[in-house]
Structure 1
Amino acid sequence: MLSFDELTSPERELWDAFPEGRRVDLRTGVPEDDRVVEGGQWGAARTVRAAVIVGLLLGANPAQPGAVACLRLAGARISGHLNLAGTQIAHALWLEDCWFAESVDLLGASLQTLVITGSRVPGIEADSARVEGNLDLRRSVVESLASSPFNHVSTALSLSDARVTGGLLLNGAEMRASGGWAVAAGGLVMEGGVFCRGFVARGEVRLLGAQLPGGLFMQGARLTDPGPHGVSLALDNAAASTLDFSDGFTVNGTVRLQGTQVSGTLTFQGAVLNGPPDGQGPSLVALLMQAVDFDFTLARAPSGTVDLQGAQVSFLHDSEHSWPDVVELDGFVYGSIKVHKTGERRETVGRRNSVPQRVAWIRRCPGYNPQPYEQLAGWYRKAGHDDEARRVLLAKQRHRRQTLPRTARAWGHLLDVTVGYGYRPWLAGVWLLALTLLGALSFSAQTPTPVQRGEGTPFQPLVYTLDLLIPIGGLGQRTAWYWPNDSLQWLAYLLIALGWVLTTAVLAGVTRALQKN
């Protein structure tokens, strides 16, 4: 236990101010002398031992009746290890523009509002901590710990399984753990929001399974020097009301949102997703992600792949800068697509050139998967644009054809040319007309032989051709005449076969039109 006689002059000032919650400001007012980055050179007049702070917070100098004790200190060099692990602290701690010689240990601690702003700290360990209020680290620079009891990777700020009833304020802060974990906060429970505007992380930011009902706001943040696996931001299985990565949010590494659930907006508007520096990893992995509003209008196209397999969103916003060369869309479900162009958001459905653009988007998927085509066609159909839906399904069949054996591809080409796989029934009508003209001209060159002489209707080439092409009913010509000329007889057989295929396609098109109306 420290005695008053052992305290230095600045420590005595802090000791006397604590019971009344007064702030002790050791700054000189000269900007050159108050630069925190050079705080290690501050002398005894600005040095406070960590043990003194711990003693005050644990009741060494209790508050006077009618006063609210609070430790407020600015511009100090804090020597020693600030160890509050496992303690219960009933007083707020405010440290501003301070330089810490050693790390801050809050493992399992229970404390009130904690403010360490504009300071330099060699690591903060707060796993399983409970903060009844805000955790404020604005403008601070926190450097990595060598290790912690829970993490075997160098970590700057550790908040695994912590709970904060207020907000986590990291605006303008910088977390340094190059190649390690800038923030390790798996299982973090936040009752307020996490605010990281202008935040810089050198290392991976890990929020696996975090509960963020107040949202995560990282506008303008920069994430560099990704972790061991090339990941800069990991929010796997997290739940949040809002995830805001907009206004110049820049990542050199992978953003991972596997199984993340967003009850409101997930936005990357104006963001830059560079992917891992080696160019070998994805820019965004969002398998099984769920969100209501997904804004992916980036500042420029991602350098790595975007994986949306199994993701579900109600509204998708994109632009010409949204998609890289490779996009994984198998299982991706959306309720609406709105395109962002020249400062306006317009719904894709109904635009005349939307189908080629959307099909080209799907073709960025490696290999052939029918689901993205069915999803897009279903959305067009749901919006009442059946023609566009058929164009998408025709594109699906053409893509599928490339995966088939040679003989099947040949048959597919025939179906495409003749009936458009059944999605272009008007083409079947054109072929029927052309075959009718061909048959009428060919059959008019010679006279066939009657099946029974003196019976049946007179031969009429046009009616005979129509009788061959129409598979249902009969006009009395096909059964009454045959050809001694083998070539014309084989032409008749060919017209019968093509008639079945083409007439069926025409009927299917008429049926679709009637159902649409």
Structure 2
Amino acid sequence: MKALLVQPRRRLTSAQRDGACSIRTPLGDSLDVTDYSLLPMLDDLARLERELIDAARAGDTPVGSGLTVEELADDNDPAHEIRARLLREMLLGQRGTLDPKGIKVQGARITGTLDLDNVAACSGLSVTSCVVTSAITARYASLPWLRLAHCRVGNVHADGIRVISGMWLDSLRVTGIGGTGAIRLPGSHIGGMLDLSRTEIINETGPALFAPGLRVDGNIWLRDAQLGGVSERGAIQLFRAQVDGALIVRGAEIMNLVGPAMSADQLRVEAGLNLDKVHVIGGGMHGAIRLIGAQIGGMLSVLESELTNVEGLVLDVENTRVDSKVFLPITVICSEFLTNNSCDRSKRVDINGFRFGALEVMPYRAMPWQEWLHLIRCHTEAYRPGPYQQLAAAERAAGHDGNARRILIAQQRDLYDRAPKALGNWLTRRFHWLWGVLAGYGYLTRRTAAALLITLAVAGGLGLWAGHVTDGGHHIAERTGTFTDPTGRPCTSVELIGLGLDRGLPLAATGVRNRCDLNPDTNLAAKFTVAIWLTQAVIWGLATLALAGYTGLVRRTT
């Protein structure tokens, strides 16, 4: 890694050795910076350029023309210009030892490409309220700090840059071109914070921000930024990025009509991801915001945001883990949920394998489980058991077992509605439906017990009815000793009810059939017998479901 950061070291003379310095990179290793005073230098310095050198040596205030960025954009006065080559010479130490306060340029036109490639500097660089007429490159550079704020620039390519204490790119206006990205920070390491607040980045031929493998020891700020890119992989690309602080994208506007607005697969954020009040427009099937396999140590908040995808998902958090709470109001996805039980389901999410901390309603308003359930049921591409199981586990962990049962019942209904072939043939699907009605798929055993009691009452009622229906001189159910007599003798009401229960529950015989039973010689005896058999079958089925439900044997969890 060291060989990539600095130029090969040369053997120094005693005179040259006095100008060398040592800096410590974000990785903790110390780099000796070579004396480049023998390299060719500019020899026709303008007044503003000489003032800049003197101010940087003395640690004075920023040097510039005093013009605003808008005035500099239309200004062609050479007196307001500083050549970019001079800034490189100063950072290389060719213009003498600089004050630790660094080089500070404010309100000037920086002409030419600001080339900081492979520069290992002892002083930081601040360029504010300037117009940089060409691109800025800082590939594999190493700087104590870097600030490019309130400027107009072209591409900013800083692959593999190492910045010790922070990198401020706030309020920039970047008009980049090319498929490699307008601002590039792949594999870079920022020791402090990375600030891109209020920055406008437009690239009509590629991504706006390309930073896979970026590591930031502090926070990343994209607050109130405006980014527009054209890339199938994302306008913002933060694949495998690692942020030891928080990632704040609050109030940003991000657009990409051919792919995700923000792609951050396998992102690692230690202190939370804030996407509040963002306005996002994405395209393609991979999600307007894509966070597949991300790990978020704090909270994930998407409050008061507007997510749009002209073709596919608006949010993809498949296999993402959030260690704390998730603030994702259903209104981000579905504007009709709070006033309607149904919705048009136009916006979709992928939350398969999504894991999060407990769901709680706070003043900050975490998304309650009912809204999560609606999101899973109505705004996912297809039935998946994982989201239901995760939501149920979160509610159970919070001590809300009743909510967990409702969620798992909804899972089985969704399985029946959206993945019926997974249940088997037509007969199996009918049984699944009946199982849900009678037993709540094993989660409402009291419903099964109630149905069992009702069926037992029906059995007793059939016996009572049979004792009040006559055929000739006999009753359908009567005293057994009078079956062969010309006229039968009726049973008591208690005996008739006991007859129905006895026939419905043959394993719990009451002995009443020795005194009172169905007379087989009557015309309607066979019909009553069949009716009681059917009732008996229902009783057996319900008894089995109730027993299995109470013991947890038939509760589907996958």
TM-score (norm 2): 0.74
Q: Of the candidates 40, 56, 81, which is equivalent to residue 113 of structure 2?
A: 81
Tell me, in whole angstroms, the C-alpha distance in 1 between the residues paired with 2:403 and 2:544: 21
- Alignment correspondent of 2:543: 503
Residue 323 (structure 2) pairs with residue 292 (structure 1): yes
- Alignment correspondent of 2:503: 468
> How far does residue 247 in structure 1 lie from its aligned partner after superposition?
4.3
- Alignment correspondent of 1:271: 305
State the SS of the aligned residue for 1:338.
coil
CA gap of 1:345–1:24, structure 2 versus 1, over 3 A, is closer
TM alignment of 1:14-163, pairs within 5 A: 14-28=52-66, 34-36=68-70, 38-39=72-73, 41-63=75-97, 68=100, 70-146=102-178, 153-163=179-189
Percent identity reads 27
- Alignment correspondent of 1:442: 466
- Alignment correspondent of 1:310: none
Q: Of the candidates 376, 380, 385, which is equivalent to residue 362 of structure 1?
A: 376
Number of aligned residues: 468
- Alignment correspondent of 2:224: 198
- Alignment correspondent of 2:271: 242
The answer for unaligned runs of 5 or more in structure 1 is 147-152, 305-319, 513-517
Tell me, in whole angstroms, the C-alpha distance in 2 between the residues paired with 1:366 and 1:442: 55
- Alignment correspondent of 1:12: 50
Q: Which amino acid is 2:190 matched to?
A: V
User: Does the CA contact (< 8 Å) of 1:37 and 1:120 recur in 2?
Assistant: no
> How far does residue 45 in structure 1 lie from its aligned partner after superposition?
0.7
Tell me, in whole angstroms, the C-alpha distance in 1 between the residues paired with 2:163 and 2:546: 71
Tell me, in whole angstroms, the C-alpha distance in 2 between the residues paired with 1:326 and 1:4: 59
User: Does the CA contact (< 8 Å) of 2:292 and 2:320 recur in 1?
Assistant: yes
Once the two structures are superposed, residues 108-163 of structure 1 have per-residue CA deviations (whole angstroms, 9 ceiling, x without a partner) of: 111221111111111111101111221111111122143xxxxxx14111111011
Tell me, in whole angstroms, the C-alpha distance in 2 between the residues paired with 1:37 and 1:282: 44
CA gap of 1:324–1:45, structure 2 versus 1, over 3 A, is same
TM alignment of 1:391-406, pairs within 5 A: 391-402=406-417, 403=420, 405-406=425-426
TM-score (norm 1): 0.80
- Alignment correspondent of 2:190: 164
State the SS of the aligned residue for 2:250.
coil
Tell me, in whole angstroms, the C-alpha distance in 2 between the residues paired with 1:502 and 1:113: 74
Tell me, in whole angstroms, the C-alpha distance in 2 between the residues paired with 1:479 and 1:136: 97
Tell me, in whole angstroms, the C-alpha distance in 2 between the residues paired with 1:358 and 1:98: 48
State the SS of the aligned residue for 2:167.
strand
CA gap of 1:465–1:37, structure 2 versus 1, over 3 A, is farther
CA RMSD of aligned residues (A): 3.4
Which protein has the larger Cα radius of gyration, Structure 1 or Structure 2?
2
Tell me, in whole angstroms, the C-alpha distance in 2 between the residues paired with 1:476 and 1:255: 72
Tell me, in whole angstroms, the C-alpha distance in 2 between the residues paired with 1:415 and 1:90: 74
User: Does the CA contact (< 8 Å) of 1:262 and 1:290 recur in 2?
Assistant: yes
> How far does residue 489 in structure 1 lie from its aligned partner after superposition?
2.3
State the SS of the aligned residue for 1:56.
helix
User: Does the CA contact (< 8 Å) of 2:296 and 2:322 recur in 1?
Assistant: yes
Tell me, in whole angstroms, the C-alpha distance in 1 between the residues paired with 2:246 and 2:460: 68
- Alignment correspondent of 1:309: none
Tell me, in whole angstroms, the C-alpha distance in 1 between the residues paired with 2:395 and 2:68: 63
- Alignment correspondent of 1:219: 250
- Alignment correspondent of 1:177: 203
User: Does the CA contact (< 8 Å) of 2:240 and 2:264 recur in 1?
Assistant: yes
User: Does the CA contact (< 8 Å) of 1:415 and 1:421 recur in 2?
Assistant: yes
Tell me, in whole angstroms, the C-alpha distance in 2 between the residues paired with 1:119 and 1:344: 36
User: Does the CA contact (< 8 Å) of 1:339 and 1:345 recur in 2?
Assistant: yes
CA gap of 1:373–1:478, structure 2 versus 1, over 3 A, is farther
357-366 or 176-185, which deviates more: 357-366
Residue 453 (structure 2) pairs with residue 429 (structure 1): yes
CA gap of 1:80–1:411, structure 2 versus 1, over 3 A, is closer
> How far does residue 237 in structure 1 lie from its aligned partner after superposition?
0.8
Tell me, in whole angstroms, the C-alpha distance in 2 between the residues paired with 1:68 and 1:118: 23
CA gap of 1:50–1:414, structure 2 versus 1, over 3 A, is closer
State the SS of the aligned residue for 1:25.
coil
> How far does residue 336 in structure 1 lie from its aligned partner after superposition?
2.9
Once the two structures are superposed, residues 249-271 of structure 1 have per-residue CA deviations (whole angstroms, 9 ceiling, x without a partner) of: 22112111111111111211222
CA gap of 1:384–1:501, structure 2 versus 1, over 3 A, is farther
More strand by share: 1
Q: Of the candidates 450, 475, 486, which is equivalent to residue 526 of structure 2?
A: 486
Tell me, in whole angstroms, the C-alpha distance in 2 between the residues paired with 1:303 and 1:345: 16
> How far does residue 381 in structure 1 lie from its aligned partner after superposition?
4.8
Tell me, in whole angstroms, the C-alpha distance in 2 between the residues paired with 1:413 and 1:211: 48
Tell me, in whole angstroms, the C-alpha distance in 2 between the residues paired with 1:165 and 1:461: 88
User: Does the CA contact (< 8 Å) of 2:320 and 2:355 recur in 1?
Assistant: no
State the SS of the aligned residue for 2:123.
coil
User: Does the CA contact (< 8 Å) of 1:215 and 1:241 recur in 2?
Assistant: yes
Q: Of the candidates 324, 327, 337, which is equivalent to residue 359 of structure 2?
A: 337
Q: Which amino acid is 1:280 matched to?
A: E
Tell me, in whole angstroms, the C-alpha distance in 1 between the residues paired with 2:330 and 2:546: 47
Tell me, in whole angstroms, the C-alpha distance in 2 between the residues paired with 1:262 and 1:346: 16
- Alignment correspondent of 1:302: 333
CA gap of 1:303–1:47, structure 2 versus 1, over 3 A, is farther
Once the two structures are superposed, residues 45-77 of structure 1 have per-residue CA deviations (whole angstroms, 9 ceiling, x without a partner) of: 10111112211221222128xx54732111111
Once the two structures are superposed, residues 395-437 of structure 1 have per-residue CA deviations (whole angstroms, 9 ceiling, x without a partner) of: 4444444425443444445445555555222233223323322
Q: Which amino acid is 1:407 matched to?
A: L
Q: Which amino acid is 1:191 matched to?
A: D
Tell me, in whole angstroms, the C-alpha distance in 2 between the residues paired with 1:479 and 1:110: 102
CA gap of 1:83–1:366, structure 2 versus 1, over 3 A, is closer
State the SS of the aligned residue for 1:135.
strand
The answer for unaligned runs of 5 or more in structure 2 is 1-38, 230-234, 283-287, 336-341, 470-475, 485-489, 553-558
> How far does residue 327 in structure 1 lie from its aligned partner after superposition?
4.0
- Alignment correspondent of 1:312: none
Q: Which amino acid is 2:504 matched to?
A: L
